Amino acid sequence: MEIKRLTPTKAEAHILLGAQRDYVNRGNTAVKCPRCGRSLEYRCGESGESIYCTDDMCIVVHTRGI
Ligand SMILES: [Zn+2]
């Protein structure tokens, strides 16, 4: 098992989910990664949605699609 990314704290996850909401609503976000300050990226796929830091070793939040 490979764990590449860190698990966000509750507060960090809350910030990432806010950024995800921005992406869903208007296609971008001004929110930066709460841990390292880099940009956040959003991806929507068959297995659900992800909002993640552009640093490969940083944090990510996965949510299920509807
Ligand atoms: Zn980061």
Q: Is residue 3 part of a domain?
A: no
Q: Is residue 5 part of a domain?
A: no
Q: How confident is the model at residue 25 (pLDDT cuts 50, 70, 90)?
A: very high
pTM of the full structure? 0.86
* Residue-wise pLDDT tens digits, 42-63: 999 888 999 999 999 999 999 8
How far apart are the C-alpha atoms of 2 and 57, rounded to whole Å?
Answer: 12
Q: How many domains does the chain have?
A: 1
> Is the pLDDT confidence value at 40 over 60?
yes
- Structural domain boundaries enclosing 16: 10-63
Centroid of ligand 1 to alpha carbon of 10 (angstroms): 15
Q: Which residues surround ligand 1, an ion (CB under 5 A)?
A: 33, 35-36, 38, 53, 55, 58
Centroid of ligand 1 to alpha carbon of 8 (angstroms): 10
* Residue-wise pLDDT tens digits, 3-13: 578 899 999 99
Q: Is residue 21 part of a domain?
A: yes
Q: Is residue 37 part of a domain?
A: yes
